[in-house]
Amino acid sequence: MQAVSALLLLLPAAFAAQAPQFEPPSAGPLVPSSNYVGSSNSTLNKTTVVAGKQFDRIVQIWLENTDFESANSTATFTNLAKQGVLLDQYYALTHPSEPNYVAVVGGDFWGMADDQFYNIPANISTVVDLLEAKNVSWASYQENLPTDGFSGFNFTSENYLNGSAPPYTYYVRKHNPTIIYDSVASVPSRAALHRNFNDFAADVNASALPQWLFVTPNLVNDAHDTTIDFAGQWVDYFLTPLLSDTRFNDNKTLIVLTFDETETYTVNNRILTLLLGGAVPENLRGTVDHTYYTHYSALSTVEANWGLGSLGRGDTNKTLSNVFSFVADATGYKNLNISGAAIPLTNATGTIPGPLNANFYVPFTAPNVSATGAGGGPVFIAQGLNVNLTAATAPAPVNLTAANETVPALGPIGGTSAAPSPSGSGKPSGAVESVVAGKAAGAALLGALLGSAALFL
Ligand SMILES: *[C@@H]1O[C@H](CO)[C@@H](O)[C@H](O)[C@H]1NC(C)=O
Ligand SMILES: *[C@@H]1O[C@H](CO)[C@@H](O)[C@H](O)[C@H]1NC(C)=O
Ligand SMILES: *[C@@H]1O[C@H](CO)[C@@H](O)[C@H](O)[C@H]1NC(C)=O
Ligand SMILES: *[C@@H]1O[C@H](CO)[C@@H](O)[C@H](O)[C@H]1NC(C)=O
Ligand SMILES: *[C@@H]1O[C@H](CO)[C@@H](O)[C@H](O)[C@H]1NC(C)=O
Ligand SMILES: *[C@@H]1O[C@H](CO)[C@@H](O)[C@H](O)[C@H]1NC(C)=O
Ligand SMILES: *[C@@H]1O[C@H](CO)[C@@H](O)[C@H](O)[C@H]1NC(C)=O
Ligand SMILES: *[C@@H]1O[C@H](CO)[C@@H](O)[C@H](O)[C@H]1NC(C)=O
Ligand SMILES: *[C@@H]1O[C@H](CO)[C@@H](O)[C@H](O)[C@H]1NC(C)=O
Ligand SMILES: *[C@@H]1O[C@H](CO)[C@@H](O)[C@H](O)[C@H]1NC(C)=O
Ligand SMILES: *[C@@H]1O[C@H](CO)[C@@H](O)[C@H](O)[C@H]1NC(C)=O
Ligand SMILES: *[C@@H]1O[C@H](CO)[C@@H](O)[C@H](O)[C@H]1NC(C)=O
């Protein structure tokens, strides 16, 4: 274990020495590529568009680990800001990555303070339940996901930035928010909506994009393993051409380009967010909106737009869930005016009790079933939910770590491997074998997690 830690510490230095340069993974965002791993087998079925009050489609694109000032001094973002609205008081919710991702779809980060393999139990609902209740279509596009519905911890494939380097881990589960929830992952038709960028290309080409999309670039393109300049080049490559393609962006499309969290933990968690797309009113393009928002605003905005129910979690906490202002205006939602010292500090990590915090463990509790969210609909009650187990009736936090225990939702990390260890052969044939081996290992892990009946590859 110590040897592994020492090796991990050396990695950034080795990586910096190589200073990877951006390379387009394909000839264009709508051109298939083996760099995205599995080729597309089908497009999504076209569905009836459910009209929203301000937009009919929302595309959330998440980049990684960048302070506001850093993104705001990068040309890609300052140029794009001229076409949309810059949100300069938008905050992530905690550190590190994974809790922010689970929060933007589930309305809570459950006390999580790490990036481990979790399976959030099936009685915990997400935005997927709210969307499906109104027949609003959705999908999660993950750049290097090997196969549709893959639920493994990560995936390693041929290094397309450096053909003589070993295969590279481009895909990680911790950036694929909905797959972490069993209410999504254990339903095969839902699991299948986790698709890679070959599927994305096929879906756009077929004019079959859904109405709610989450888009995660791979670990180099999202700045996680690289720099904001590298990610900016990816945005120029991927997003900029799509902005003028009406199969992606029409006058009822809202695009939210944001970051999971700041790089610096010792400042509050302000990140740069751009609202782009044809649904942004023309008179607001090139403006700055100083309203206080958090990742929960992405939930409340969707709820307001389609008149959805709510999760009764952070999405209904009025302080943390202001609706993007032009959507609030269109739907009659009243935002709170929160500024200066009233802005909560959301840069803490590890100190918030929850069912995914082993040092301050409390069980999963029911949402506030009497909450009213921005959509006005009822709080979604998942199957198997004990509505009587509430925050008020839950036991006090306990320290499982001190008892040499882990939280029940922690997956078998360090057990079955989701990915092959890099072969180091560097030969293209070795890389291909690595991809194949990874699929087999991924299938084994998925089978172990979900049972063979739910095996979906
Ligand atoms: C599309 O619809 C067909 C027929 O209902 C179904 O068999 C297929 O699984 C659907 N495809 C997707 C990607 O959901
Ligand atoms: C963001 O960058 C733009 C362009 O450099 C600048 O005009 C603006 O003042 C910056 N905004 C903030 C909030 O720092
Ligand atoms: C959703 O679609 C199903 C099947 O077409 C239909 O029965 C149901 O009424 C729809 N629900 C809503 C809220 O539109
Ligand atoms: C399509 O099916 C093939 C054969 O099963 C598989 O290798 C490939 O990964 C699939 N593609 C996706 C995106 O699931
Ligand atoms: C939006 O696009 C539709 C379809 O292309 C078109 O009919 C409509 O006039 C457009 N609306 C505006 C306000 O541009
Ligand atoms: C969070 O940010 C505040 C404001 O910058 C700072 O005072 C505080 O020390 C930070 N907290 C942590 C845990 O770093
Ligand atoms: C809403 O969020 C604020 C800021 O984090 C927090 O102080 C407050 O306790 C939350 N309200 C509820 C009802 O959880
Ligand atoms: C959720 O389900 C788990 C079992 O999977 C159960 O232990 C827990 O009490 C349930 N929690 C609630 C709030 O219903
Ligand atoms: C919850 O409490 C109500 C009222 O006390 C009771 O009728 C119901 O059976 C309880 N439900 C569960 C799952 O314990
Ligand atoms: C929980 O227990 C661990 C192991 O004994 C200890 O390191 C940690 O400080 C404890 N945390 C709290 C919040 O008491
Ligand atoms: C903690 O549990 C593990 C696994 O059951 C065991 O190997 C280890 O000895 C335990 N450590 C302590 C301090 O009890
Ligand atoms: C990938 O997953 C394996 C366990 O399956 C783990 O040991 C390894 O650290 C992970 N790598 C990354 C980059 O997440």
Per-residue pLDDT, averaged over 148-171, amounts to 97
Q: Is the CB of 251 under 6 A from ligand 5?
A: yes
Whether ligand 9 lies within 6 angstroms of the CB of 386 is answered as: yes
Angstrom distance (rounded) from CA 428 to CA 445: 26
Higher pLDDT pick, 415 / 371: 371
CA dist., res. 426 & res. 424, Å (int): 5
93, 294, 320: which to mutate for ligand 7, most atoms within 8 A of CB? 320
**pLDDT for position 412:** 76
Test site for ligand 2: of 66, 73, 77, 78, most ligand atoms within 8 A of the Cβ: 78
Q: How confident is the model at residue 8 (pLDDT cuts 50, 70, 90)?
A: very low
Which helix H or strand E contains 139, and what residues bound it?
strand 138-142
Task: Please give the residue that has the higher pLDDT: either 75 or 433.
Answer: 75
Quickly count helices (H) and strands (E) in the chain.
12, 11
Q: What percent of the chain has pLDDT over 70?
A: 86
Confidence band (pLDDT; 50, 70, 90) for 18? low
Q: Which ligand is nearest the CA of 414, by number?
A: 12
Active site residues: 225
CA distance 331 to 175: 31
Cβ of 135 closer than 6 Å to ligand 3, yes or no, is yes
Higher pLDDT, 149 or 429: 149
Q: Which helix (H) or strand (E) holds 215?
A: strand 212-216
List, as one string, the DSSP characters of 227-283.
-HHHHHHHHHHHHHHHHT-TTT--TTEEEEEEESS-S-SSS--EEEEEEESTTS-GG
Q: Does the pLDDT value for residue 337 go beyond 50? A: yes
| Nearest ligand 9 atom to alpha carbon 386 | 13
User: How far apart are the CA of 181 and the centre of ligand 2, in A?
Assistant: 37
| Summary mean pLDDT of the chain | 89
Residue 411, Cα to own-chain centre: how many angstroms? Answer: 19
Range with the poorest average pLDDT among 89-98, 244-253, 416-425: 416-425
CB 204 within 8 A of CB 50: no
Structure tokens at 448: 């172990």
Cβ atoms < 10 Å from Cβ of 243: 16
What is the distance in A from the centroid of ligand 10 to the CA of 173?
27
Cα–Cα nearest to 160, from 30, 33, 16: 33
Q: Which ligand is nearest to the CA of 49?
A: 3
The letter for the amino acid at 139 is A
Q: Choose among 305, 296, 311: nearest CA to 371.
A: 311
Q: Closest Cα to residue 201, out of 209, 210, 190? A: 209
**Nearest CA owner, ligand 4 atom 11:** 38
pLDDT by residue (tens digit) across 171-228? 999 999 999 999 999 999 999 999 999 999 999 999 999 999 999 999 999 999 999 9
Q: Which of 271, 287, 284 shows the shortest CA–CA distance to 329?
A: 284
User: What's the pLDDT tens digit per position in 397-450?
Assistant: 999 999 999 999 998 753 333 333 333 222 222 222 233 233 233 333 333 322
Ligand 8 atom with the shortest distance to the CA of 124: 1
Residue 288's H or E segment, with its range, is strand 287-289
Q: Which atom belonging to ligand 12 lies closest to the Cα atom of 172?
A: 14
Does the pLDDT of residue 15 top 70, yes or no?
no
Q: Exposed, middle or buried, 411 (CB in 10 Å: 0-12/13-18/19+)?
A: buried
- Among 54, 56, 247, 251, say which to mutate for ligand 5: greatest number of ligand atoms within 8 Å of CB: 251
> 19: pLDDT confidence band, cut at 50, 70 and 90?
confident
pTM of structure = 0.89
134 Cβ below 6 A of ligand 3 = yes
- Distance (Å, rounded) from C-alpha 120 to C-alpha 27? 38
- Residue 447: the pLDDT is 30
State the average pLDDT over residues 16-30: 86
254, pLDDT greater than 60: yes
pLDDT at 10 over 60: no
